[in-house]
Structure 1
Amino acid sequence: MISFLQVENLSKRFGEQLLFENITFGIGKNQKVALIAKNGMGKSTLLRIIAGKDSADTGSVIFRNDISIGILDQDPELNPENYVFEEVFNSENPTLKLIKTYEQAVKDNDASALEELIPQMDALAAWDYDTQVKQILSELKVDKYSQRIKELSGGQRKRVGLAKILISNPDFLILDEPTNHLDVEMTEWLEEYLEKTNATLLMVTHDRYFLDRVCDKIIEIDDFGLFAYEGNYSYYLEKRDERIEARNASIDKAKNLLRTEQEWMRRMPQARGHKAKYRIDNFYKIKEVASQNTTEQQLELDIKGQRLGKKILELEHVNKSYGDFRVLRDFSYKFVRGEKIGIIGKNGVGKSTFLNIITRQIEPDSGTIEIGETVVYGYYKQDGISFKEDDRPIDIVKNISEKIDLGNGRVMSASQFLEYFLFPDKLQYSLVAKLSGGERRRLYLLTVLMSNPNFLILDEPTNDLDIMTLNVLEDYLKSFQGCLIIVSHDRFFTDKVVDRVFAFEGDGVVKDFPGNYTQYKNKKEEEELLRKQEEKKIPVAPKPVREKEKVRKLTFKERLEMQQLESDMEKLNTEKTELETALNSGTLDTDELVKSSQRIAEIIDLLDEKEMRWLELSEIE
């Protein structure tokens, strides 16, 4: 395999904190590799070092000389003053530069420029590339070309950054959490795109379906070093369990052997020969192995929730619109204890607005919302993190409560609770400014759960959380006794947790579906397949049984009409073929191109109309 990247002995510290040490691995041409590690272990920093946007303390990064590289950061580096159109097409690629000029001429309806550019597009065979560019922009909903980058939301900037990277078509893609801010449809499209592309890929993502279907190699960094697995996410899980089991067995064996060696060390005579020195050195090696933990640190959530009464949340005929944009249309639902609902739908369809309506932060236009007296919301918002940079986790938690009730008589101090959430003593007293994005989100989640809610609302809780934290959060939510609403584009997370789906289908329509996301998707695909099959069938009304004398025959005028229809259709098909040949010849000027395209559309409509009439007449005996 041709080597595209070789990383040798990379080490990096952030102040006093060691992110990683002596990292070594390689990536070959066409490999699709995912990097997995707990939050705070420097995944994003490692990607930036590899891309040349940051520097390591020690070690080297070597790329093959003749390859192009594209990187997508969690917060893409875009020129805030550029318009979206300028930023997306900002590339040194000559074909992409030509497409940018061509698309600008189309926007400006510049006929003279188009006359010069069309032959250039032909010469560089840029039409297929142009089609691919438009598909990428369309699938990622990058269509606000006239807006400046600084006017876009964080999610819109992320999609512009992703589109820019993909259409530049680099040989080596480095993607940091590419599915954040993408809805499910976009994620599935990107999954399919990356699966088919010939580009080599290195990425960080928490989307486990994405990992399973796209990647063929997993690199894991943990407290014990770096481990590479040649396979997808399912294979990684299997082999990782085997590795941990083998390591635990070797630690147990070392502990048993250590007891024997300790006894020898106590009885050892003072005169130390060569063999004794060797055994002493070996003793300290065994002691080092035996002192390791046999289990990895686990985050286990089991926080007491307040009692939930019979009446929880009831919505009756609720409507909400913003001008012509409908969020809810006559929506009614009564929540019951213990149900777990996943909300899905495209970006911008109104999912977060719905959450703000049921928590009475936004009032509906009409309808009633009744919240039970015992309901205590725990609302985790996408933009809810509001810690100050000079705050410390220990102070943030203590300001909420010095002690946390876990139920069943168990109480934890603020420091113990932070430890429970994988914040060791040193990290508890670090400034928020030094926390990674995932560590900040874990701290925010902790503060939400501290209120002992019995109705949890989680709006995109999986963004920036590591896979280890997600697995434990899923297990907690599955056993949560109160009500749960989740808005998430993480299909694996949704499938594992929810038992009901509210599908926001647009124009205020919300479909209530019993089941998880995959079951809903499969049902929709079945319905779509049946619809297409029905469309292909030409409906023919059954002929009624008629008495012989009542059978209708074609009149002389109708026979003449049929003959004329057949003649007209033949002429129209001939004209259509001639126009298509001319369009494909590349000899027409801009005006002729426009006229020919318009005429073909007219011919297609005429043919449809005449064919339908011919079919009607042919049914008459």
Structure 2
Amino acid sequence: MANPLLQIDTLTKSFGDRMLFRNISFGVAEGDKIGLIAGNGAGKTSLLNIIAGKEPSDNGRVVFRNDIRFAYLEQSPQFDPGLTVLEACFQTENEAVKVIARYEEIMESGNHLELDEILAKMDLLKAWDYEQRIRQILSQLKIFQLDQKIGELSGGQVKRVALANTLISEPELIMLDEPTNHLDLDMVEWLEEYLSRSNISLLMVTHDRYFLDRVCTQIIEIDDRQIYSYKGNYAYYLEKRGERIVVQNAEADSAQNIYRKELDWMRRQPQARATKAKSRIDAFYELEEQVKQRNQANDIKLSAKGSYIGKKIFEANHITKSFGDIKITDDFNYIFTRYEKMGIIGNNGTGKSTFIKMLLGIEQPDSGNFDIGETVNFGYYSQEGLQFDEQTKVIDAVQKIAEVIDLGNGNKLTASQFLQHFLFAPAKQHDFVYKLSGGEKRRLHLCTVLIKNPNFLILDEPTNDLDIITLNILEEYLIGFKGCLIVISHDRYFMDKVVDHLLCFHGDAEIQDFPGNYTQYRDWKSLEDKRVAEETKPPKPIKTSEKPVQQEKTKLTFREKQEFEGLEAEIQRLETEKEQLAQQLSSGNLSSEELINASNRISQVVSLIDEKTYRWLELSEFA
């Protein structure tokens, strides 16, 4: 059995009369990579905060193995805004930083009594090259200006600095709360590979289903205040959860039939005989509670009629836009067709959101124009649009926009019914907005966009902080949506399901129209990158029969003869080292630092082999 690193025993947490989870227990062992799944507001972040000691529980306990190296990436990390990026990386509470600080104190004080112990800890924690490792990981996460103040960074950049801080200490156990938010696709795939190859044990909350599928070996679900554990990846979880829901629904149907009979008995029960059947009455109330808690989320289906949209949607005519030296578009032209579903991808800062804002008229192009059809009715969801009066009730926020939504075919939903489809129970609809979690507020914002019944939806990062259940509902809605759609998202699974082609923003106004979904694009790009690498590979040095005019040498000098005799053995030694490095790189057992070092070394070895081989060929002419 694997060595346990963390044990959760009978943990309970509530806020007022709202129970998040009750008496839940589970453990994390060495090598476990666990994904934590639950609906918005079900207590995922609260559970992580309790484990990290940042929030109290009502009862239960959290037990770590002694001397464990542990790190936690919060959903919204905080730093002193006056610190530089590099300084922020030395302000964390990880063990390496503490040892470095103690070493510096000892050296400054001149009291070297603890020096031997501290030097041993510095070696153990690889603290000597800590700054170099910080720089390497930050560069992987596209943070290059290490002297920039934290207060000048965007929220996404701060999250990436915090992620670097979390990874740099190479902890034995790491907790991540929505680590892929604010990462572009290349960084998500880098982090995915890093966590898959490392020996770090992991407890993670994320809505990125490809990430869950490729990284996690176990899924834990919080549902109806209980824990359900699945030993497998996300695909396995979906299969087994489906089986569990079938069983639960069958039990609920049986309970519903019994409930009807018991309810009839209760109504006919004479008041005078109530005390004689107390046990049966108590059983009735338990059964009533069970029936009320029936899980029907998997049965939710939602579609919308969509208002009429004509054949002309929009045309982009010679759109040019830049911010200083940064080009967003340059003489860009595009004709958007009826019922088109487009995904927009690209690294952060390449202009995806700016392009959308120009289409909506929020931002003006430097030159060119968008010609938009008369029947187009935009619905726009963005992180910036998430603004509510905190003292407004959920139901009032939606009813201000529309009392009823038309689903077509004579079917209509009231605002309350529409909210229920997006998992706002009737009691929740009468909560004030300030009581909602971050994910619930985003879900409410999405409802306020969709209930307007637009025929052209523009969604800018709609999946951030939405739970997987809501994402499935939204995906089904968009698949059946009878209108046009543009989605900007880093969620690969989401893009694969809902879009039929991509606009790829590569930066410097380079925009590629790709006829397929994200997975098809990545497969194509991988093949294209290999082809380009082959074409640009420098030719191997070849023996030439032509001798320079000035070369009149006919035999080797004594020193050259010694060099020639040593070259063959040296080349063989380098070839052996190259094979060993290649095996190490493909083993999946290297730490991040070892991976970087081995990668750098194999490049050096290949260059040395080419250099030594060329020299051997030169000398062999006269051997």
TM bracket, shorter-chain basis? 0.7 to 0.9
Partner residue of 1:220? Answer: 221
- Is 1:41 the equivalent of 2:57? no
Partner residue of 1:468? Answer: 469
SS at match of 1:489: coil
Letter in 1 for 2:460: D
Change in Cα spacing, 1:100 to 1:498, as seen in structure 2 (3 Å) is farther
Query: Is the CA contact 2:321–2:327 (under 8 Å) kept in the aligned structure 1?
Result: yes
Change in Cα spacing, 1:425 to 1:258, as seen in structure 2 (3 Å) is closer
Shift in Å, 1:259: 7.6
Q: How does 1:265-414 map to 2 (within 5 A)?
A: 293=294, 295-296=296-297, 298-414=299-415
Query: Is the CA contact 2:96–2:169 (under 8 Å) kept in the aligned structure 1?
Result: no
Q: How does 1:17-416 map to 2 (within 5 A)?
A: 17-91=18-92, 95-96=96-97, 126=127, 131-223=132-224, 225-255=226-256, 293=294, 295-296=296-297, 298-416=299-417
Change in Cα spacing, 1:537 to 1:391, as seen in structure 2 (3 Å) is same
Aligned partners of 1:119 and 1:8: how far apart in 2? 36
Aligned partners of 1:415 and 1:63: how far apart in 2? 45
- Is 1:417 the equivalent of 2:415? no
Partner residue of 1:115? Answer: none
Partner residue of 2:4? Answer: 3
SS at match of 2:160: helix
Change in Cα spacing, 1:390 to 1:279, as seen in structure 2 (3 Å) is closer
Specify every segment of 5 or more residues in structure 2 that has no aligned partner in the other structure, as ranges: 104-118, 571-605
SS at match of 1:11: strand
Partner residue of 1:438? Answer: 439
Query: Is the CA contact 2:422–2:473 (under 8 Å) kept in the aligned structure 1?
Result: no
Aligned partners of 2:521 and 2:156: how far apart in 1? 25
Letter in 2 for 1:82: L
Letter in 1 for 2:499: V
Query: Is the CA contact 2:541–2:614 (under 8 Å) kept in the aligned structure 1?
Result: no
Letter in 2 for 1:140: L
Change in Cα spacing, 1:333 to 1:266, as seen in structure 2 (3 Å) is closer
Larger Rg computed on CA atoms: 1
Aligned partners of 1:266 and 1:418: how far apart in 2? 33
CA offsets per residue over residues 556-600 of structure 1, 9 Å max, x none?
Answer: 546669999x98xx79x99xx9xxxxxxxxxxxxxxxxxxxxxxx
Query: Is the CA contact 1:89–1:100 (under 8 Å) kept in the aligned structure 2?
Result: no
CA offsets per residue over residues 452-498 of structure 1, 9 Å max, x none?
Answer: 21111100000010000101111111122221111101111111111
Letter in 1 for 2:49: R
Aligned partners of 1:293 and 1:119: how far apart in 2? 58
Query: Is the CA contact 2:304–2:481 (under 8 Å) kept in the aligned structure 1?
Result: no
Partner residue of 1:598? Answer: none
Query: Is the CA contact 1:91–1:168 (under 8 Å) kept in the aligned structure 2?
Result: no
Query: Is the CA contact 1:74–1:177 (under 8 Å) kept in the aligned structure 2?
Result: yes
Letter in 1 for 2:452: S
Aligned partners of 2:36 and 2:251: how far apart in 1? 26
SS at match of 1:62: strand
Partner residue of 2:575? Answer: none
Partner residue of 1:480? Answer: 481
Aligned partners of 1:612 and 1:416: how far apart in 2? 76
Partner residue of 1:588? Answer: none
Aligned partners of 1:561 and 1:98: how far apart in 2? 63
Change in Cα spacing, 1:249 to 1:227, as seen in structure 2 (3 Å) is same
TM-score (norm 1): 0.80
Aligned partners of 1:446 and 1:56: how far apart in 2? 32
TM-score (norm 2): 0.80
Shift in Å, 1:232: 0.9
Letter in 2 for 1:63: F
Q: Which moved more, 1:242-251 or 1:257-266?
A: 257-266
Aligned partners of 1:315 and 1:561: how far apart in 2? 71
Query: Is the CA contact 2:85–2:148 (under 8 Å) kept in the aligned structure 1?
Result: yes
Shift in Å, 1:130: 5.1
Change in Cα spacing, 1:39 to 1:216, as seen in structure 2 (3 Å) is same
Query: Is the CA contact 2:341–2:501 (under 8 Å) kept in the aligned structure 1?
Result: yes
Query: Is the CA contact 1:337–1:481 (under 8 Å) kept in the aligned structure 2?
Result: no
Change in Cα spacing, 1:609 to 1:195, as seen in structure 2 (3 Å) is closer
Aligned partners of 1:506 and 1:173: how far apart in 2? 34
SS at match of 2:417: helix
Change in Cα spacing, 1:280 to 1:419, as seen in structure 2 (3 Å) is closer
Shift in Å, 1:129: 5.2
Shift in Å, 1:412: 3.2
CA offsets per residue over residues 530-571 of structure 1, 9 Å max, x none?
Answer: 122233363999x9xxxxxxxx9868546669999x98xx79
Aligned partners of 2:371 and 2:101: how far apart in 1? 54
Aligned partners of 2:547 and 2:36: how far apart in 1? 74
Letter in 1 for 2:144: D
Change in Cα spacing, 1:609 to 1:437, as seen in structure 2 (3 Å) is same
Aligned partners of 1:28 and 1:471: how far apart in 2? 31
Shift in Å, 1:355: 0.7
Aligned partners of 1:418 and 1:124: how far apart in 2? 51
Q: Which moved more, 1:408-417 or 1:48-57?
A: 408-417
SS at match of 2:61: strand
Partner residue of 1:600? Answer: none
Shift in Å, 1:225: 2.3
Shift in Å, 1:25: 1.7
Specify every segment of 5 or more residues in structure 1 that has no aligned partner in the other structure, as ranges: 103-117, 544-551, 578-603
Change in Cα spacing, 1:375 to 1:9, as seen in structure 2 (3 Å) is same
Aligned partners of 1:396 and 1:283: how far apart in 2? 38
Aligned partners of 1:23 and 1:100: how far apart in 2? 39
Number of matched residues?
Answer: 566
Q: How does 1:463-612 map to 2 (within 5 A)?
A: 463-536=464-537, 538=539, 557=550
CA offsets per residue over residues 209-240 of structure 1, 9 Å max, x none?
Answer: 11111111111111262211111111111110
Query: Is the CA contact 1:34–1:218 (under 8 Å) kept in the aligned structure 2?
Result: yes
CA offsets per residue over residues 108-145 of structure 1, 9 Å max, x none?
Answer: xxxxxxxxxx9999998556655543321111122222
CA offsets per residue over residues 263-299 of structure 1, 9 Å max, x none?
Answer: 999999xxx9xxx998888777667656653633654
Query: Is the CA contact 1:299–1:469 (under 8 Å) kept in the aligned structure 2?
Result: no
Change in Cα spacing, 1:314 to 1:284, as seen in structure 2 (3 Å) is closer
The alignment's C-alpha RMSD in Å is 4.1
Query: Is the CA contact 1:299–1:422 (under 8 Å) kept in the aligned structure 2?
Result: no
Shift in Å, 1:261: 8.0
Change in Cα spacing, 1:25 to 1:509, as seen in structure 2 (3 Å) is same
Aligned partners of 2:449 and 2:287: how far apart in 1? 44
SS at match of 2:444: helix
Partner residue of 2:588? Answer: none
Change in Cα spacing, 1:302 to 1:555, as seen in structure 2 (3 Å) is closer
Query: Is the CA contact 1:251–1:292 (under 8 Å) kept in the aligned structure 2?
Result: no
SS at match of 1:241: helix
Shift in Å, 1:435: 0.3
